[in-house]
Structure 1
Amino acid sequence: MARIEELAATLQGLAAPGIKRKELVAAVREKHPKASKKDIVRAAFYALTSAVDGDLERAQRLHTFALHERTAEDEEPLPVKRRKRDRRKDAQRNQQPTH
């Protein structure tokens, strides 16, 4: 696995205007095939805290990427597992006439 500093340097070099998140992850993985998405996101945050050569635009792109990828996994809804008994009760409630 690549060190976080190496991933951060790669991200800083690849974060160009107009690059999409998936493209950025794919480009980093081309250079660091064993890097996980989580490692890449951590490296993006690390790159923000390290020097970005005074390039505010690059820092903003890295920040946006890191925040979105960090929360992307959290945004996916979890499957709702309900017991058969609960589904029956809901079905019965929906069939009862409302007055």
Structure 2
Amino acid sequence: MSSKKSREIDKIADTIRDLATPDIKPKALIDAVRELHPDASKKDIARAAFLRAILSAEFKPEDTQALHDIASETRNEDSD
């Protein structure tokens, strides 16, 4: 992954951190992320969500499951 792509994934991950709450539905979060990152692919959002889940696990374990669900759902949509 290029450093430019990596920086974009980091930005998307930060957006996910800011928008994600334990009760948010994956589709709602994906739509909100896309409003701020219109060029982001579902794959980019899934990568960013997995990154955020990994980074959050240590500090905000209650958010980790919601982020994992979002990343998984986005990834599964890509395979459809």
Match of 2:52 in 1: 47
Letter in 1 for 2:68: H
Deviation at 1:22, TM superposition (A): 1.2
For the residues of structure 2 that align with 1:72 and 1:29, how far apart are their CA atoms? 15
For residue 3 of structure 1, give the secondary structure of its aligned residue in structure 2.
Answer: helix
One of 29, 33, 56 as aligned partner of 1:24: 29
Deviation at 1:8, TM superposition (A): 0.4
Deviation at 1:60, TM superposition (A): 1.2
| 1:30-86: CA deviation from partner (whole Å, max 9, x where unpaired) | 111111111101111111222x26111111110111112212343x4xxxxxxxxxx
For residue 59 of structure 2, give the secondary structure of its aligned residue in structure 1.
Answer: coil
Query: Does the 8 Å contact 2:43/2:78 carry over to 1?
Result: no
The structure carrying a bigger helix percent of its residues is: 2
Q: How many residues align?
A: 74
TM-score with structure 2 length normalisation?
Answer: 0.78
Structure 1, gaps ≥5 residues long? 77-99
For the residues of structure 2 that align with 1:17 and 1:35, how far apart are their CA atoms? 23
For residue 16 of structure 1, give the secondary structure of its aligned residue in structure 2.
Answer: coil
**Percent of aligned pairs with the same residue?**
43
User: Against the structure 1 CA distance between its residues 22 and 56, is the aligned structure 2 distance closer, same or farther, given a 3 Å change threshold?
Assistant: same
Query: Does the 8 Å contact 1:12/1:58 carry over to 2?
Result: no
Residue 36 (1) aligns with residue 36 (2): no
